[in-house]
Amino acid sequence: MCIDTACSLGFCAEHAAAAAMITAGENRIVRIVAVGRDGRILPPCGRCREFIRQLHPDNREAEVMVAPGVIVRLGELLPHDWLA
């Protein structure tokens, strides 16, 4: 669930899902797809990309659907990764 607020202090669904994973003792992500209210596929925002990346080194290789039929690695969305 995504919580959007007028002042940009919301909480993205990807962040919430990752937090639930951590609570369950998991931190490795293999695939990600985010869908907006209208059913449109959305790439994760920069905050979520960075958060997911930092949960586990292998998350750079996570497959991210950014549009229908278009899948890229998380590392491609973070081309200048300061942790690499």
Cα–Cα distances (Å) from 9 to 2, 12, 39, in that order, read 11, 10, 23
Tokens at 62, concatenated: 């996570």
Instruction: Assess whether 14 carries a catalytic annotation.
Output: yes
Measured CA to CA, the distance from residue 56 to residue 26 in angstroms comes to 10
- The amino acid at 16: A
Which residue of the set 14, 61, 63, 76 is catalytic?
Answer: 14
Best CA proximity match to 15, nearest among 6, 4, 63: 4
Catalytic positions are 14
